[in-house]
Each structure stands twice: as C-alpha cells, then as structure tokens.
Amino acid sequence: MQTIDLSELGLREVNKMLHAQAADTNQTSWTIENAKGSHAIACGLDAPIEVTVKGSTGYYCGGMNQQATIRIDGSAGPGTGENIMSGSIIIEGDASQYLGATGHGGLIVVKGNASSRCGISMKGVNIVVQGNIGHMSAFMGQSGNLVVCGDAGDALGDSCYEARFFVRGSVKSLGADCEKKEMRPEHIEILQGLLDEAGIDANPSDFTRYGSARTLYNFDVDNAGAY
Amino acid sequence: MTDNKIPTTTPRQSATFTADVNSDIRRAAATGIYDIRGGGAKRKVPSFDDLLFMGASISRYPLEGYREKCETNVTIGGLNASNPIELDIPITIAGMSFGALSGPAKEALGRGASMAGTSTTTGDGGMTPEERGHSNKLVYQYLPSRYGMNPDDLRKADAIEIVVGQGAKPGGGGMLLGQKISDRVAHMRNLPKGIDQRSACRHPDWTGPDDLEIKILELREITGWKVPIYVKVAGARPYYDVTLAIKAGADAIVLDGMQGGTAATQDVFIEHVGQPTLAIIRPAVQALQDLGMHRKVQLILSGGIRSGADVAKAMALGADAVAIGTAALIALGDNDPKYEAEYNKLGTTAGAYDDWHEGRDPAGITTQDPELMARFDPIEGGRRLRNYLKVMTLEAQTIARACGKNHLHNLEPEDLVALTMEAAAMAKVPLCGTDWYPGKPGTGF
C-alpha cells in the first residue's frame, strides 16, 4: 500500500506517480490523503491499480480513466469520471453534475445521489446510482446503461440514442424522444449483472426501462417542435 | 391622329425580393425545412481586400527579395507546454472532421501540411490512424460531442484544441446527416449507421471560464503538461472571449471569423451570426496586449484566408499565425470546374457547390461514398496543398520584404492603409490618403 499526501506533494507529483505505473506494476494499491476538494485527482490513469482518495474531490476526478479502480471516500465534484474508458470509480458519497459525461466504458457506482446531467452524452459507460439523479440526465446518451435505484429528475434521456436507462423509483418527466420500454429477459439479465457488479442488493423486476423512441434519428420537419 | 397607346414601364426587379431571396422562399415553402449547407458566409463583408500595404520608399527601406532573408517560423504554445509546436510557416490547416471529409482527403491534408512544415487538425470525429500517420504535427480537437475522444489519441497529439465555437456558427452545434454515416464513421462515433449525428453546442462537463480553467488543468494533467492547449472561439465578442480564454490558461487562441467554413449548418446561421474576420482581430489583439500576453499566448486567425496577402495582413494586425480550411479544400480540388457537368446535375455550378453534407461531392473530398472517394488521389492532393502553402508563404514574404521586414512577425499595423471607412474603423489603420480612421482617439469621431 502506497500512501501519498496530496497537500504535501501537490497535484502534478501525485498524478505523475500514478501515471508512471505500468500494466505489470506491483504497487497496485494507493491511498491519496488530504484531497480537500482538489480538481483532476487521479485523472488519465492507465494501469490496473486501486486508488482510494480520502475526502471529497473537486472536478474531474478519474477523468478518462483506463483500467484503474478509483474509490472516493467522500463526495465527488462535477465531471467525475468524464470520458471514462474502462476500469471503475466508486463514490461513497454524492456525485455532482456531469457524472461520467461522454464515458466510453467502465463502471461508475454512486452510493449516494447524483446531480443533474448524470451520464450526459454517455457512449458506453455503465453508471449505477443507489440514490436519486437530477434533471437532464443521460442527455444525448449514445450507449451504455444508467441504473437508478431511486428517482430520476426532469427530462430523463432527452434526445438519447441507444443508451438504456433503468429506474426503480419515479421519473419526474421524460426528455424528448425518450420513452418507457418493455423489460425483456435480456434486460433483466443486464440489470442484474450491473447491480451485482455494483454490489447493490435490489430486484431487477422492480425497475422500469426507458430508451429512445427513435423518432428524432433523422430530421423531419413535423418533429420540429421536439427539438 | 394622336397615338393613344399608354407607354409601359420596364419590368423592375425588387432589390428586396431578389431572385436569390425568392428561390429561398420557394424552397422553404416546398420543403418546410431550413436550408443546410457547408462553407462560410457568402455575403460580401469588409475583408482583407479592403486593406493595402504601403511598401517602403525613403522613410523605410525594403529588403532585397532574392538576397535578404525573411523568416516565417512560429512557435506555438511555449507558455506552459514542455513541447511547444514549432512550425516552419505560420499557415496551419484548420480542424475538419473525418466524416465530413473522406479518409483520403484527411490524408492529403496531413501530407501537404507536413511537406510545407506546418500542422493539421482533427475535427468532430476523432483521430484516424491515416491522419496521425501522415501529419508531422497534429492538433487534436476537443469538441462538445467528444466523438471518438480517448486518452490514447489525446496523448498522441502534438497540441489539443478545445473548441468552444467556430466562425460559421457561433453558439451553434453541428449535424452530420445520415447519408454520410458510413460503417467506419458510425463506429468511430459510437452511433448507429445512417442516422443524423448531432453535435452539441456546449461542452457536456463545463460551462463558463472558471470551469474552462479546470478543464484545461485536467487535460494538462492527463498529457503531462507536454503539449499546448489551444482554445478555439468564434468571432462573437472577441475582446471578452479572448480575455476569458487567456484567464482560463490557454496557450494559444484560435479565432474564427464568419467567412470560416463548416461542414454543415443552417444557411441563416452562416450568413447572419458572427462577425467578419477583419472585424475581430484588433479587439482580440487588444485583449492580449491589455493582459501583457501578446506574443506569449499565440493568436491564430482563421475565416476566409486565401492568399499570402491575407496572411501578411493578418500578421500585420497582430496574429501569430493563420489557419485555412476552405482554401485548403479548394487546393485539393474542391469545386474544380473540371467537374462542371456533374455540379450541374446536382443543380449547382463549380465554385458554388456547398452541399457538402449530402456526401455527393464530385471531387471526392467531402464524401464517404467509395466510388466518389476513389476519384481523389491523396498523394497528388497532398502535393497540391504543399504547393499552395508554399505560394502563400512566398507571397507573404514578398510583401514583408517590401515593407522592410526580416520576419513575417515584424509586420505591423503601421504598414497598412484601408480602402474604405469600414475597413479603416475595423482594422484601426488610416483611410488611404489620410492619417485618420473612424474611432481614432482624439479625433472626435
């Protein structure tokens, strides 16, 4: 276990140490102390290491993550895990806006709530939120899965493409071209897998699936009011 | 007998309802959809054509054209990056996407730019291996859509350009229509084939200059502070936008006027939003000077740059470099009259073809159609672009020497005069034959 103090070393040195880890590193476990809301902590990692960040983080913690597992022992600021490619990010507290924005892969788990625009433009990432999510979540979501064990705010899945949304609680409103969909066996299977991976005990049958109605896929003037 | 025939007036066309306007109305009435097209503003706006260099005589002496050097190199991004971009010439290739352009066209841009010693730029579709492979210096655009964005490509880039806006459509996003979405384009953008691919107008994970500063920090951290971070803005409010980009920590600013092209957007947007390139440069330079950052944060001007004269004028007004997009496509063969018969079949004519989004480009450049793409030879295209860039550079050097300058960067506003009041006011250089321009301090205007 490597323990590094962010307030002593500074952001550049901390990230440089983490970036220096190769795929076969034997220093696989890292703890970053004194996060104190700093931005861009552990962004751009590309090694199968486990990083625990003690305290709450600012913007873009774990941005563009590849392979690494990042655990935030606190709440996470805006854009956490933006453009994540692989690996996972676990947030013990709440997550601010833009969680996992444009994420291409990997898994993000939020033990608390996630704010607005959770999963905006998601492109393959899986996001599991144990609590609620805010408005405009998964706007223009392209692919991947967003699982919400609580409620979803306004305009869920607005202008979405092929991303899937599973919500256990209520949805305040659906965004343009987002509709309720049938929960088929393959969706139950996908959802069960995501809940298991996130370590959440919930019954997939209690969830409702939402996704694109695909009416805005090609421009039609009769749909202009929806844009 | 008297002739009682009443004289008729000659038919008079309206200056308001012109043939162009009427055809627009008829098209709108028939389709119910606004006109989408490529390219930049076609309307006549004050431009670099309205400026002249005075040259040297007794008060200033010129440099000998074939004996005395006139340097053209430029370093971009030395403020924070450990590996700034060193270019032989101050003419770069602007961002154009794979998707909007064919793979071979992107390859040709890389080949031509590399041979001329300059950089090329990706676009809203990610980085292709061909483009990276053929571009010695490649700027990777970081756009709101983040199509194809990944940290591996980010680290392969020689610079990163955060795109906030572009001159053709300040405040607008983009749309790549379904007919251009081939399997490869769809795969790179992680979307189904054949659907319209919308590009957002705002970044999904930041808003405003304070957030931008943190975004720049993140990109620097991911790339180890090695490469410059550019910020591209449209010519909307250049003084304030440039000020805020500098404040956010940009290493270079790309400023794009309304003549700058786009792959596709609404004609009404292209023609009615934004400012002419001539009008935006002085406020941008003023912002740099007010913050003590002129020549430290480089200014790259784009939007309708066509010749060495345009390059020289942009640099005289304070730019460190320029970027070309539409002109580069024309150099490759876009809108070539040799395809006139085919342009006619598409209802247009060479020089006016702008339906780049439809993917039926006879020149095989703005298309993903395999048969049309096969018409375009990337090696020959690269050579043509190299030639064009060389000519532009020679032209700019010719002017600079005539003004007594041994580097293009030494050109200055005092070398210029304006042909019109508008150009004088925008460029803040004297109207020809006077020592005055509108708004000149102390003149009461």
Q: How far apart are CA A101 and CA A118, in angstroms?
A: 7
Q: How are beta strands A107-110 and A123-129 bridged, if at all? A: parallel
Q: How far apart are CA A119 and CA A100, in angstroms?
A: 5
Instruction: Among A43, A78, A98, select the one facing B222 at the smallest CB separation.
Output: A43
The pLDDT confidence band at residue B360, using thresholds 50, 70 and 90, is very high
Q: How far apart are CA B137 and CA B403, in angstroms?
A: 31
Residue A227 belongs to a domain: no
**Predicted local distance difference test score (pLDDT) of residue A218:** 77
- Residue B209 predicted with pLDDT over 60: yes
B159 sits in which H/E element: strand B159-163
Give the minimum alpha-carbon distance from A116 to chain B in angstroms, rounded to a whole number: 11
**Residue A151 belongs to domain with CATH number:** 2.160.20.60
* Interchain contact, B205 vs A85, CB within 8 Å: no
- Which residue in A has a C-alpha nearest to residue B186's C-alpha? A142
Which residue from A100, A221, A71, A78 is spatially nearest to A163, judged by alpha carbons? A100
- Which residue in B has a C-alpha nearest to residue A227's C-alpha? B198
How many interface pairs between A and B have CB atoms less than 8 angstroms apart?
105
Q: How far apart are CA B42 and CA B62, in angstroms?
A: 36
Mutate to test the interface with A, among B82, B188, B190, B205 (most CBs of A within 10 A): B205
CB B131 within 8 A of CB B99: no
Count the Cβ atoms, other than its own, within 10 Å of residue B296. 13
Which two tokens mark A225?
């009011």
Which residues in chain B have Cβ-Cβ distances shorter than 8 Å to A121? 145-146, 200, 204
HSE at residue B223, side-chain half, CA atoms within 13 A, is: 27
Residues of A with CB under 8 A from a CB of B: 11-12, 15-16, 19, 39-40, 43-44, 46, 58-60, 63-64, 66, 78-79, 82-83, 85, 98, 101-102, 104, 117, 120-121, 123-124, 139-140, 142-143, 159, 161-162, 217-219, 221
- Residue B146 predicted with pLDDT over 80: yes
Instruction: Dump pLDDT digits (tens) for B243-285.
Output: 999 999 999 999 999 999 998 889 999 999 999 999 999 999 9
CB B256 within 8 A of CB B273: no
CB A87 within 8 A of CB A66: yes
- Residue B399 predicted with pLDDT over 60: yes
* Interchain contact, B151 vs A15, CB within 8 Å: no
Residue A12 belongs to a domain: yes
Instruction: Among B196, B222, B224, select the one facing A218 at the smallest CB separation.
Output: B196
Which residues are within 8 A (CB) of B291 and not within 5 positions of it... i.e. 6 or more apart? B243, B246, B247
Mutate to test the interface with A, among B142, B203, B222, B358 (most CBs of A within 10 A): B222
The residue segments making up the domain with residue A128 are: 2-217
Which residues in chain B have Cβ-Cβ distances shorter than 8 Å to A63? 218, 222
Which residues in chain A have Cβ-Cβ distances shorter than 8 Å to B206? 59, 78-79, 98
Which two tokens mark B384?
């043509």
Q: How are beta strands B36-39 and B262-266 bridged, if at all? A: antiparallel
Instruction: Dump pLDDT digits (tens) for B61-88.
Output: 999 987 899 999 999 999 999 999 999 9
The pLDDT confidence band at residue B179, using thresholds 50, 70 and 90, is low
**Predicted local distance difference test score (pLDDT) of residue A180:** 98
* Interchain contact, B192 vs A161, CB within 8 Å: yes
Residue A222 belongs to a domain: no
Which two tokens mark A157?
């899945």
Question: Span B48-333+376-411: which CATH code?
Answer: 3.20.20.70
Residue A76 belongs to a domain: yes
What values do phi and psi take at B125, rounded to 5? -160, 5
Share of chain B above pLDDT 70, in %: 98
**What ipTM does the predicted assembly reach?**
0.96
Mean pLDDT of the region A164-192 = 97
Question: What are the residue ranges spanned by the domains of chain B?
Answer: 48-333+376-411
Residue A55 belongs to a domain: yes
Residue A44 belongs to a domain: yes
- Residue A225 predicted with pLDDT over 80: no
Which residues are within 8 A (CB) of B15 and not within 5 positions of it... i.e. 6 or more apart? none
Mean pLDDT of the region B280-306 = 98
Which two tokens mark B53?
């260099």
Which two tokens mark B392?
């532009």
Residue-wise DSSP of B249-275: T-SEEEEE-TTS-EEEEEHHHHHHSS-
Distances (CA, A) of B273 to A30, B216, B266, B270, B327: 51, 27, 11, 6, 21
Give the minimum alpha-carbon distance from B354 to chain A in angstroms, rounded to a whole number: 19
Mean pLDDT of the region A129-137 = 98
Share of chain B above pLDDT 90, in %: 82
- Which residue in A has a C-alpha nearest to residue B142's C-alpha? A83
* Interchain contact, A60 vs B215, CB within 8 Å: yes
Give the minimum alpha-carbon distance from A221 to chain B in angstroms, rounded to a whole number: 6
Positive or negative: CA dihedral B236, B251, B262, B428? positive
CB A173 within 8 A of CB A155: yes
A160-164, A222-226, B185-189: which is most confident? A160-164
Residue A226 belongs to a domain: no
Q: How far apart are CA B358 and CA B103, in angstroms?
A: 16
CA A9 to chain centre: 28
Q: How far apart are CA A218 and CA B340, in angstroms?
A: 31
Q: How far apart are CA B51 and CA B41, in angstroms?
A: 20
Instruction: Dump pLDDT digits (tens) for A77-95.
Output: 999 999 999 999 999 999 9
The one-letter code for the residue type at A80 is T
Number of structural domains, chain A? 1
Residue A30 belongs to a domain: yes
Distances (CA, A) of B16 to B12, B22, B25, B139, B267: 12, 10, 13, 44, 18
